[in-house]
Amino acid sequence: MTQFMSACAAALFLCLTGCSVQTLVHVLTSQTSQSTEPTKPKLVAQTPKPAQHAIKPGSKPEPTSQELFEYLHGQLLSLSPSDGVNDNLEVAFDPASSILSITQPDGRCDIFLSAIDSNSAIWEMIDPSDANHQRGQVLRLTMNSMSGKAARACYDTQNRIDASIATNRARLFFSLSKANATPGFTNKMDKAIKKLIVQSGGAAEKEVL
């Protein structure tokens, strides 16, 4: 019996000792393998940069009625014919009534921009010469009124209505030689007068074709 108990104790001791050695070997092996592995750099999260979009230039604002008139005023005076008949002596604009007033040697014409059809604009070259006077050629812009409306009212030098002048069309006069010396003049003037007509309540231009 004593021998049997001694054998059991010896077996138990060996079992416990074996488990401890295995556990110690496992721990040492794990530490060795961890120490021999190369240290991997830690990845640092980067804040994404906001996408950069190309900045589009802002669209050019439309000119005001006053700015358009100032352009017309300058061109009508600086490019005025100097023939004693078609001269543009004075140019005025009343934004409240949308009336463009042009004074010439024989009187004044008030153009009602709100009644003008901008689709009717026509450029012509005319010769104002007569039997007694030789005059330089003139560039004339003619615009008709909308149906049932008057395009202008003209007055003589005594401020009396001139009934001999047709009221269904309005006209602007420029020196042909001066206009030819101004690059892109007819195109710029055409755009300016049509924009002022539309802003004043007149009919906008339409594309027929």
pLDDT tens for 143-194 read: 999 999 999 999 999 999 999 999 999 999 999 999 999 999 999 999 999 9
Query: Tokens 């009625």 sit at which residue?
Result: 65
Please give the single-letter amino acid code of residue 78.
Answer: S
What is the three-class DSSP state of 162?
coil
Q: Which residues contact 120 (CB under 8 A, 6 or more apart)?
A: 142, 143, 144, 169
pLDDT tens for 112-153 read: 999 999 999 999 999 999 888 899 999 999 999 999 999 999
Please tell me the distance from the alpha carbon of residue 156 to that of residue 22, in angstroms, as a whole number: 127
What is the three-class DSSP state of 168?
coil
pLDDT tens for 7-31 read: 444 444 444 444 444 443 444 345 4
User: pTM (2 decimals)?
Assistant: 0.71
> For residues 113 and 100, is the Cβ–Cβ distance under 8 A?
yes
Domain ranges for the chain: 65-199
Q: Which of 189, 206, 208, 205 is nearest to 118 (CA)?
A: 205
**DSSP assignment of 56-103:** PPPPPPPPPHHHHHHHHHHHHHHT---SSSS---EEEEETTTTEEEEE
